[in-house]
Amino acid sequence: MTPYRPWHQKFYLRCAIGVCLLALVAGAIDFYNNLEAGFRLHKIQSDLTYNPDWDTGPESPEELAALQSLLEQKFTYIGKGAQCYAFLSDDGKHVLKLFKHHHMRVPGWIQMLPLGEYKEKKARRKRAHLENTFNSYLLSYRELKEETGLEYIHLNKSKHLQREVTIVLPSGAEQVLNIDDYEFMIQAKAELILPLISEHLAAGRRKEAERGVDAFYELVVRLARKGAVDKDAAFAQNYGLLRDHPINIDVGQFGLSERHKSGEGFREAVMEATRRLSAWFKTREPEIAPYVELRGQEILETEA
């Protein structure tokens, strides 16, 4: 015979079971997120419609054929930034970057709530964030290809690429994407400059380390002369070497400013770059910090 339990004992038991189930579900979700570095398919999907301002024009038959050939490779997850998830091609020469749309739209749970003006303000902020990001990529593609290594951007959904691209997630699982349906970019794979300088110093290759500093300043000067302003605070991850050619890797926060092309604006750009680079090395590789400051001063004397 089943023992009698007062109603409140049954209520508490059910609550305890419910809490345990919720904890298990939350744990499973957290485990999956950690396993895949937070990547979820819905995060790179969007309901954006065609925008002529984001159109980069049709590719030539030769360009389209080369792009389609490139997209036949698999792309393996290598990391993420503020705007994108990054995947490296099988040949190690190209990085496919898929936009993190979940950061650029109002969360679904907020959309379902009767929040009125708050929801509208949040939607406007998210839209502004998306437009600023896309405009930065357009600027980089149109004006700064040599300085960014951008090879292709796709900001409007299309039908002409006709490729199913396989991406390999952090867990090793594979996901197939009809790439026409996604907003993405392709960038040449570069090696980060600042960690490379540290490697040279650790191996006693002082001259090679100094050449890395020189490459960094070469890029700073070229960007400033074109009026390009990088507003990204993630300094160390932004600069790379592509076959000894310096490029800016993270191009999601660029703007144009005529003021930085010459005069006081140019000086400010070089001085800010010197300050940030010197501060980075003073805490990690203090032996080369004086050379960083010396090169910055020489550029101010000769270029400004």
Sign of CA dihedral 112, 117, 122, 127: positive
Q: Which two tokens stand for residue 256?
A: 């144009």
Model pLDDT, residue 31: 42
Distance CA 293, CA 98 (A): 37
Does the domain at residues 191-303 carry the CATH identifier 1.20.120?
A: no
- Bridge-based pairing of strands 164-168 and 75-80 is parallel
Q: Which two tokens stand for residue 120?
A: 């509208």
Query: What DSSP character marks residue 140?
Result: H
Reported as a single tens digit per residue, the pLDDT across 155-184 is 999 999 999 999 999 999 999 999 999 999
Give the burial string for 159-195 (b: 16+ CB within 10 Å, else e). eebebebbbbbbeeeeeebebbebbbbbbbbbeebbe
- Is 230:248 a contact under the CB 8 Å cutoff? yes
Helices (H), the chain: 7-35, 61-70, 108-111, 117-143, 145-148, 193-202, 206-225, 263-282, 289-303
| Exposed / middle / buried, residue 274 (Cβ in 10 Å: 0-12, 13-18, 19+) | buried
Q: Residue 32 above 70 pLDDT?
A: no
Distance CA 199, CA 214 (A): 16
What residue spans define the domains of the chain?
41-188, 191-303
The predicted model scores a pTM of 0.82
118 - beta bridge partners?
none
Of the chain, the percentage scoring pLDDT greater than 90 comes to: 47
Reported as a single tens digit per residue, the pLDDT across 238-289 is 889 998 899 998 887 777 778 878 888 888 888 888 888 898 889 888 999 9
